[in-house]
Amino acid sequence: MTDLLKAKLSRRAVLQTAAVGAIGIDPALRAAVYAAGSDAPEKTEVKIGFIPLTDCASIVMASVLGLDQKYGVKIIPSKEASWAGVRDKVMSGENDFTHMLLGQAYGVHLGVGGAKKDMAVLMTLNQNGQAITLSKKLAEKGAVDGPSLAKLMQTDKRDYTFAQTFPTGTHAMWLYYWLATHGVNPLQDAKVITVPPPQMVANMRVGNMDGYCVGEPWNHRAIIDGIGITAQTTQDIWKDHPEKVLATTGDFAKKNPNTCRAVTAAILEAGKWIDASLSNKNKMAETIADKSYVNTGVDAINQRILGRYQNGLGKTWDDPNHMKFYNDGTVNFPYLSDGMWFLTQHKRWGLLKDHPDYLNVAKQVSQIEIYKQAAAATKTPLPKSDLRTSKLIDGVVWDGKDPKKYADGFKIKA
């Protein structure tokens, strides 16, 4: 056995011991919990696709800490290159589950911009923690936030290019919503391109885009590398917004409900562990920075997960609404209204030609019963309603009650 392998194995043992201490798992009871009877997982070894982003952490830590074993499953994280790759591999069955953009799951379910397949969202993996980065060149011309960008685009006329990570995904919708709030029509006043998250920084470095919306650590990385500034955090667009989800196909969820429950429970435990302490967050950052996962410096990850922000222009602040993975269970419920919001934006920007049956689609996708079982197994509190109310950056309130009126109510749209 090589020294490197010994070091990795011993470090994993230390992390597993830490997890046992934090969550109170008796290692002797692991794997035996659902060992027999109708509760047994139908499939005990599962592959979960993920993109190299900070918010893949609860999937990775469920595996690294051995929390999956408690529920009778073995999680094998599978690193993927793009959100299109993530989609294709879960649709084909090559991966059983996937780290996925919430809007993307709904897009696949309705066949927006690609093949259609019934999808199942099992839980929300995280809230908050994405950002909009503008190039240092734009910042030097005075564009450091939404209003100043809109002003520059009016006075310095040229073609402006912005990047998001997937056409129906969260980052595209945050970018569009933010630009439109400041009077910029993303479909008419700019060119918008799709770039996989780990390639954002390299593309900005060579001048392929003026700005982008992506998950961490690729916003903070642009600051470290001196090529970009943070113009807006997504939590300032929508406080406690949904972001990535644990998804699978509708067929897999129907055939393997116990496996779905077990995997959801293990990842809930991992999210709880991450959010339990500063030291756990730092251990998580050290783990996922590894080449096998996010492949970046720990310093690109560990500040913003603690809420320590800087914008790249000398401003620093502590943000209480940083990326959360559990937050006493408030993060993880797959709200029907969260999924419906993305459908309203897909309609707003012409991705959907007609209004869908918003609530019915959300009920098809969001696997609330499986989530409730996993929540019971992990003692995770449940909300009082399947819908929630939020006020976004433009002051408009979203509560899921009249999605058609909401979608049609925006002045700037396709």
Tens digit of each residue's pLDDT (9 = 90 or more) over 75-104: 999 999 999 999 999 999 999 999 999 999
Is 158 part of a structural domain of the chain? no
Is 375 part of a structural domain of the chain? yes
- Supply the range of the domain harboring residue 294: 3-128+242-307+323-335+354-384
Is 251 part of a structural domain of the chain? yes
- Rounded to an integer, what distance in angstroms lies between the CA atom of residue 215 and that of residue 322? 12
pLDDT attached to residue 13 = 57
| Residue 67 structure tokens | 């929390």
CA 129 to chain centre: 9
- Rounded to an integer, what distance in angstroms lies between the CA atom of residue 148 and that of residue 146? 6
Residue with the two structure tokens 């799951």? 105
Averaged pLDDT for residues 279-286: 98
Is 302 part of a structural domain of the chain? yes
pLDDT attached to residue 254 = 98
Q: Specify the CATH number for the domain of residue 116.
A: 3.40.190.10
Q: Is the predicted pLDDT of residue 3 greater than 80, yes or no?
A: no
Is 373 part of a structural domain of the chain? yes
pLDDT band at 32 (very low <50, low <70, confident <90, very high): very low
Q: pLDDT exceeding 70 applies to what percent of the chain?
A: 91
Asked if the bond preceding 381 is cis, omega within 30° of 0, the reply is: no
Q: Is the predicted pLDDT of residue 255 greater than 70, yes or no?
A: yes
3-class DSSP state of 250:
helix
- Residues 6 or more apart from 353 whose CB is under 8 A from it? none
pLDDT band at 207 (very low <50, low <70, confident <90, very high): very high
- Residues 6 or more apart from 235 whose CB is under 8 A from it? 127, 128, 129, 241, 319, 321, 322
Element holding 316 (H helix, E strand): strand 316-318
Is 222 part of a structural domain of the chain? no
Q: pLDDT exceeding 90 applies to what percent of the chain?
A: 90
Element holding 132 (H helix, E strand): strand 130-135
Mean predicted lDDT score pLDDT of the chain: 93
Is 193 part of a structural domain of the chain? no
Is 197 part of a structural domain of the chain? no
pLDDT attached to residue 2 = 45
Digit-coded pLDDT (tens) for 356-368: 999 999 999 999 9
pLDDT band at 327 (very low <50, low <70, confident <90, very high): very high
pLDDT attached to residue 113 = 83
Q: Is the predicted pLDDT of residue 9 greater than 90, yes or no?
A: no
Q: Is the predicted pLDDT of residue 15 greater than 90, yes or no?
A: no
pLDDT attached to residue 5 = 43
pLDDT band at 21 (very low <50, low <70, confident <90, very high): very low
Q: Is the predicted pLDDT of residue 289 greater than 70, yes or no?
A: yes
- Rounded to an integer, what distance in angstroms lies between the CA atom of residue 308 and that of residue 295? 21
pLDDT attached to residue 29 = 38
Digit-coded pLDDT (tens) for 354-404: 999 999 999 999 999 999 999 999 999 999 999 999 999 999 999 999 999
Count of domains forming the chain: 1
Q: Is the predicted pLDDT of residue 263 greater than 90, yes or no?
A: yes
| Residue 295 structure tokens | 């492949």
- Rounded to an integer, what distance in angstroms lies between the CA atom of residue 366 and that of residue 343? 13
